[in-house]
Structure 1
Amino acid sequence: MVSFFKNKGQMKKREKQKIDDKDQSKSKKLEYIDSSISANLDNMKKKTGNSPDIIVRTLKISQNPEMKTTILYVQGLIDNPSVTDFLIESIMKNPHLKEKLLPKEALDVISEEVVSLGGVESVTDWEKLFLSLLSGDSIIFVDGINKALVASTRGGERRSIQEPSTHLTVRGSREGFTESNATNIAMLRRIINSPDLWIESMKIGTVTKTDVSIMYINGIAKEGIVEEVKERLKGINIDSILESGYIEQLIEDQVMTPFPTLNHTERPDMVAGNLLEGRVAIFVNGSPFVLVAPALFVQFFQSVEDYYNRFDIASATRFLRIIVFIISIVGPAVYVAATTFHQEMIPTKLLVIVAAQRETVPLPAVVEALVMEITFEVLREASLRMPKAVGSTMSIVGALVIGQAAVQAGIVSPAMVIIVSITAIASFATPSYSIAISARLVRFLFIICAGVLGFYGMILAFIVLIVHLCSLRSFGVPYMSPLAPLNPEGLGDTFFRRPMWAFKERPKLLSSNNNLIREGDNQRPLPPASRGMKTSDKKKGEGNES
């Protein structure tokens, strides 16, 4: 009896194994291209849901009436002249295809003699075929052979190169990145004409299969940083990548921080400058924002325009940005702490004015500051989301009307409106939008600490903030370098900028030790009198020798 059930169970297992083997053989059969065009077209329609944007064009070739060739492409993703003039017309008019040919011979003739497009290759599996088709390539089937040709016909409507909307500058390039990886990489190639500018591409996203490329200068970028970027990108397992922000969130070192540990920009000249310092650029197809790694804290206060102006002007501007950033963090907190706990620090005349204004205000200073900050944040967010024609008007009118009405109603004091307005303007003066958002978040922490403990709470918040910043890393590089750990050699391009003729070496934390020298000796410009004196002295010396 036991042997009967045992044999019956083995029979069920064998039947199940046969069914699994059939399913596997069926799936394997579907993985590879069939020799019949009709079977391939049926499989194509089944996989794509018979999508109407996939165009099928069947042509009759050779003297064999049964031999046909079919061209497939996706409407809107291809370059129409390439398909009509260099693909379909070439196949129809080529005299060699009028002869009686075997399927393999016809495929070879099309590949070697007919198609005058670049990037022609043969494929045998459906996965690669679908990937090429949905990327804008054209597929050529020949009846009677289980292969297909892929011709590069990518094109379609794309946004032209325009001036970037972020990182605006008075002096510098007016070109900005677009949503096409090929265009963005070509823009960098025009700036850096070196064979050492290496590019590696991969596809990320099981559904979207987004093209992601990394770019670095071989011999300048550290191999450890480059390998770390590659490993983190290869470790991403997600169904979709729609913007470079997806990549940024998946490869950053520290997630529990309001501060950005990767930089992003729309400016090709800014990316080129970072590549020349040893950083790695990450391009994501479909996004005009290119990621730059590793990122340092001081980097977010630097503008590409700093390197186009004189060093004294650039240094003064950078120092102003640091002051502005500090004001955007502690502006309301200083007012709250001074009016709540430390009135003795305010001049007497000013204290009388502030006290008179706050006499009718029912709210404590800390609550007043939080309410005004939240109100300004709502106005700022609303102005960003509304149409451009209305957004700027609404933000200005809303701020004026709400501020004036709140003061007249006695809800807030005029001094608080002034403090919050100055803080909002200071946050707009920060060159990097990502670090400005961080300042807006940290500002609320400082207001609460100032409302609880006054300046002592602000000092504690400063200590926590500095310790947190010093603990961050960006691809293994200390976030606060060259300030912490202190590197005196790297201080020449932080909050102040040394003259251009003094940039002799690249940053040692980012660049390879084998290629640190950026410029030669004696690059400091000399006045004409000094150069003429040296020349005349040299000629005089040569005359004496003769």
Structure 2
Amino acid sequence: MSRKLRQQYKRPKEENSDNQQNIPLSPELKQNLQKIKDDMGNSEDLIIREIEEEHLGLQMAFVYIDGLVDTTSVSEFTIQTVLDETIMLTGSEERPGIDELIKDFKQRAFSVGEISKCSDWEKIYAQLLSGDTILFLNGCEEVIIAGTRGGEKRSVTEPTSQTVIRGPREGFTESIRTNTSLLRRKIKSPKLWLEEMQIGEVTKTEVGIMYIQGIVSEETVEEVRKRLSNIHIDGILESGYIEELIEDTNFTVFPTVYHSERPDVIAANLLEGRVAIMVDGTPFALVVPSTFNMFFQAAEDYYNRFDVGSLIRVLRFISFFIGLLLPSLYVAIITFHQEMIPTSWLIKLAVQREGVPFPAFVEAVIMEMVFEILREAGVRMPRTVGNTISIVGGLVLGQAAVEAGIVSPAVVIVVSLTAIASFVSPAYNIGITARILRFLFLFASSFMGIFGMACLLLIMLLHLCSLKSVNVPYMAPYGPSILSDMKDTFIRVPMNLMKTRPKLLSKNNPVRFRKDNDVLHRETMTENTADVSSSKGQPSDSTVEHNTRNSGPSEQPKE
């Protein structure tokens, strides 16, 4: 992100604190409850349940937000257990003090998992609005916070923005805790660390940083942590806010932060040494550092054979350049380089364009604009009619434009092929980049033909080489050239040959595939086979143990 933009969202720390929240917690229960009501405008979803025990002279109140808490945890595991503990203390001869009550409630009464004490109003409000229950005691300047977060949330379903052909059919949800649990199911390692912070002075959005300690570079983690801590903005409603505020530069049409709603994709990037940024309230997780090659990779490339994955990946690169250059190449040839077209084809094109009043450049721009309008209308319209509008509208308008003599049939074919090629990319944002640059190449080809296209391609390449993502070159491993990392670029080599992680991402632990394990595995299998043969067909205990350890649930030995 540029320095000016960072300074725009950077505010002095003195302005971040609210004077009202700096007021210390009062020992008077009524005063504390009145402050909460005043600060929250006596909102209808603010639930305050006051309880008084006459024998102990104890007054307490449970405060929570309706809809943000798990009702079962609040009623059965929090309020009911405190009442039971209070009844038990009523029969004791000595009256316990406030400190003893807090200690007893914290150790024995609460059945929920997360219990903490607090005396800071800012933290109390943050926990209350996150779904926790606050216990106030009269005569105490501290509160007990019980973790009762819950409420309505969307269940784990198949991702909608990234179609799954082969692989797990589960996607992230709007709950950050659900998303982190999905990643921990993929990576069952204690080295998968999670750091959380709140960003947004008004929204207080939970933002988490996930990485694998020992694989990720410490410089990368520190840089991500620094950029997130420098964000001082009123609200974060989606991960796109974070994406724009942590970019190395905003003045580029190429995406420098990768995002996905598939847990397997994020887990694979974590294993390569990248950092995932999870934002509460959105199913899209961010991945940094990101490189240009990542936007042409799909999870299915690694679930299929390497030859199939490589062929499809090469097809994606070809489709990207078709969607980027085909209309401009048509305009350049028709306008400046007719000698490149065979004579018979040139005559047919001339006949088609005989009644068209516009030059090739204007034809292409008109059709491209019409298609972009149709595509945007298909996205914004209801799902049931969106596809119909884009398909039928394109056919009807294209045929009508040809019959009216506004455009030639060749332009309709070129624009249609360009539109189809732009949908091949697995990342939506790199497709938008091709759509923007397509118009620039059209202008360049209309003025200088193929020479203008070549000059613009060179400028684009220089721009790509100047980009960085969290201080990592955007065009790695092409520039700088790293031969060992090119095994997973335009094509994918077999899995047993990709032994190392990207060098610029994981400097401390570059090896991810150890050939020594294969040698040890083959020796173990040989010994087990020899044991089976020597026992006249009866498997030995070591053989059964080895097969049980290396088989799936459906391959467990049956009695």
**How many angstroms apart in 2 are the aligned matches of 1:163 and 1:29?**
42
Deviations 1:501-543 (A, max 9, x none): 101111111112x311111227889xx9xx99xx99xx9xxxx
Matched residue, 1:516: 510
Is structure 2 residue 74 aligned with structure 1 residue 87?
A: no
State the secondary structure of the residue aligned to 1:454: helix
Matched residue, 2:27: 35
Matched residue, 2:51: 59
Which amino acid counterpart does residue 401 of structure 1 have in structure 2? V
**How many angstroms apart in 1 are the aligned matches of 2:484 and 2:514?**
17
1:197/1:217 contact within 8 Å kept: yes
Matched residue, 1:294: 289
1:502/1:524 contact within 8 Å kept: no
Is structure 2 residue 62 aligned with structure 1 residue 71?
A: yes
1:62/1:97 contact within 8 Å kept: no
1:62/1:101 contact within 8 Å kept: no
Distance change >3 Å, CA 136–CA 367, structure 1 → 2? same
Which amino acid counterpart does residue 510 of structure 2 have in structure 1? L
Matched residue, 2:552: none
**Which residue of 466, 469, 473 maps to 1:471?**
466
| TM-score, length of structure 1 as denominator length | 0.89
1:62/1:98 contact within 8 Å kept: no
Distance change >3 Å, CA 371–CA 504, structure 1 → 2? same
Could you tell me how far 1:28 is from its partner in structure 2?
A: 7.6
Could you tell me how far 1:62 is from its partner in structure 2?
A: 4.8
**Which residue of 254, 262, 276 maps to 1:259?**
254
Matches within 5 A, 1:186-201: 186-201=181-196
**How many angstroms apart in 1 are the aligned matches of 2:371 and 2:394?**
7
Is structure 2 residue 306 aligned with structure 1 residue 316?
A: no
**Which residue of 302, 309, 319 maps to 1:307?**
302
State the secondary structure of the residue aligned to 2:437: helix
Could you tell me how far 1:493 is from its partner in structure 2?
A: 0.5
Distance change >3 Å, CA 418–CA 110, structure 1 → 2? same
Deviates more, 1:408-417 or 1:113-122: 113-122
Which amino acid counterpart does residue 345 of structure 1 have in structure 2? M
Is structure 2 residue 138 aligned with structure 1 residue 146?
A: no
Is structure 2 residue 100 aligned with structure 1 residue 105?
A: yes
2:56/2:90 contact within 8 Å kept: no
Could you tell me how far 1:31 is from its partner in structure 2?
A: 1.9
Matched residue, 1:428: 423
Deviations 1:43-89 (A, max 9, x none): 11110011110011111225045x32111110000000111111222
Which amino acid counterpart does residue 53 of structure 1 have in structure 2? D
Could you tell me how far 1:113 is from its partner in structure 2?
A: 2.2
Deviations 1:217-255 (A, max 9, x none): 111111111111111111111111111100000001121
**How many angstroms apart in 2 are the aligned matches of 1:140 and 1:309?**
54
Deviates more, 1:491-500 or 1:115-124: 115-124
**How many angstroms apart in 1 are the aligned matches of 2:128 and 2:422?**
47
**How many angstroms apart in 2 are the aligned matches of 1:200 and 1:91?**
32
Matches within 5 A, 1:117-128: 117-128=112-123
Could you tell me how far 1:36 is from its partner in structure 2?
A: 1.2
Count of residue correspondences: 504
Deviations 1:429-451 (A, max 9, x none): 11110100000000000001011
**How many angstroms apart in 1 are the aligned matches of 2:436 and 2:20?**
54
Could you tell me how far 1:291 is from its partner in structure 2?
A: 0.4
Q: Structure 1 stretches of 5 or more lacking a match?
A: 1-25, 540-546
Distance change >3 Å, CA 106–CA 223, structure 1 → 2? closer
Distance change >3 Å, CA 335–CA 239, structure 1 → 2? same
State the secondary structure of the residue aligned to 1:459: helix
Matches within 5 A, 1:372-521: 372-512=367-507, 514-521=508-515
**How many angstroms apart in 2 are the aligned matches of 1:141 and 1:522?**
60
Distance change >3 Å, CA 113–CA 521, structure 1 → 2? closer
Matched residue, 2:5: none
What root-mean-square deviation, in Å, do the aligned CA atoms of Structure 1 and Structure 2 show? Answer: 2.0
Q: Structure 2 stretches of 5 or more lacking a match?
A: 1-17, 534-559
Could you tell me how far 1:488 is from its partner in structure 2?
A: 1.4
Matched residue, 1:355: 350
**How many angstroms apart in 1 are the aligned matches of 2:22 and 2:30?**
14
Distance change >3 Å, CA 416–CA 27, structure 1 → 2? closer
Matched residue, 2:36: 44
Matched residue, 2:220: 225
Compare CA radii of gyration and give the structure with the larger one. Answer: 1
**How many angstroms apart in 2 are the aligned matches of 1:431 and 1:166?**
9
Distance change >3 Å, CA 336–CA 522, structure 1 → 2? farther
Deviations 1:360-412 (A, max 9, x none): 11111111111111111111111101100111111111111111111111111
1:315/1:497 contact within 8 Å kept: yes
Could you tell me how far 1:140 is from its partner in structure 2?
A: 0.8
Deviations 1:187-221 (A, max 9, x none): 11111111111111111111111111111111111
**How many angstroms apart in 1 are the aligned matches of 2:322 and 2:21?**
67
**How many angstroms apart in 1 are the aligned matches of 2:366 and 2:107?**
72
Distance change >3 Å, CA 203–CA 417, structure 1 → 2? same
**How many angstroms apart in 1 are the aligned matches of 2:274 and 2:290?**
9
